[in-house]
Amino acid sequence: MKTAIITGVTGQDGSYLAEHLINIGYRVVGLKRRTSVICTDRIDHIFAHKNFNLEYFELDDPGVIYRIINKYNPDEIYNLAAQSHVRVSFDTPLSTTNTIVTGVTNVLEAIRNTNRNIKFYQASSSEMFGDNPEVPQNENTKLQPASPYACAKVYSHHLTRNYRESYNIFACSGILFNHESPRRGETFVTRKITLAAARIKLGLQDKLCLGNLDAMRDWGYAKDYVRAMHLMMQHPTPDDYVIATGKSHTVKNWLEEVFDIADLSIGDFVETDERLFRPHEVPHLLGDASKAKKILNWQAKTDFKSLAKIMYESDLSYVKSKI
């Protein structure tokens, strides 16, 4: 039985990855920050599984990751933990940068100094391409970050490559484009829209305020994308891969799709609030996942319309359960 450590296991990606790895026979050690509010709802369904363990850790405390490596002797480490909200990173640039940069450095150093046979996965981001007008973006596209979050991710991406080449560590990065699900945080625009639509449909909310509706993104299903993370770690040679659907849509397109499913009028319920705009906008992200398809035999299974339906119907059930 292989053992995998997942930092950020209580997040969207961490929970789906833990679920996927347990289902294919792994022992999973999930790492989370200690918080005063219980936030394990995304992993409650696997909490009691015999092959799942939960440990507390902090990204800026290197001693913890050394202790956990020595305790569990993992085969793989997936580094998913971060302050991941791009807009928030403009308000909290130092803490956002510290957690992302310090976290990846501590984990790579722990691997280098304990067991270089441990495979390492770094959660890179399409936000690293920033406002580069070149589309679609692939593994060779120039990185041009347009937020503190993206800048920190660029550092982490390059550091992962540096440790791969300098110390012969199996270290790879998944450059994941936007990926959503019913487990997406409620402050992210896709989930904000599906949750608001459900609440409006049930008469519990009057208005939905949104920022830039013209931003174009390549949206996929997080459950599809964690499969790609695992596939990268099974390939004989470590490398970096863009993971995307290859199709982009505007925020307005997502809004229209969700409100159409809910049979709601956008004009009656939606307002634009300039306070929700980013100081530096990323206009168009569109991924070219040809490399992942060719080498890993991976491609997205869930299309845009299906994803909107999955998320709206999940939120409708969720809101009804709270009434």
Does 149 participate in catalysis according to the annotation?
A: yes
Does 163 participate in catalysis according to the annotation?
A: no
For 21, phi then psi, to 5°, come to -65, -40
Cα–Cα distance, 97 to 174 (Å, whole number): 19
Q: Name which of 109, 100, 222 is nearest 153 in CA terms.
A: 100
298-301 long-range Cβ contacts below 8 angstroms, 24+ apart: 298/227, 298/228, 298/231, 298/243, 300/220, 300/221, 300/224, 300/225, 300/244, 300/245, 300/246, 301/221, 301/224
3-state SS, 252-301, equals: HHHHHHHHHHHCCCHHHHEEECHHHCCCCCCCECCECCHHHHHHHCCCCC
Cα–Cα distance, 280 to 154 (Å, whole number): 17
Q: 239 CB contacts (<8 Å, ≥6 apart)?
A: 172, 232, 295
| 154 and 123 Cβ atoms separated by less than 8 Å | no
Selected catalytic residue, list 127, 147, 241, 257: 127
138 residue type, one letter: N
CA 287 to chain centre: 15
Q: Name which of 192, 213, 287, 191 is nearest 248 in CA terms.
A: 287
Q: Say whether 158 sits in a helix, a strand or coil.
A: helix
Selected catalytic residue, list 16, 26, 149, 225: 149
Does 55 participate in catalysis according to the annotation?
A: no
For 100, phi then psi, to 5°, come to -70, -50
By annotation, the residues acting in catalysis are: 125, 127, 149
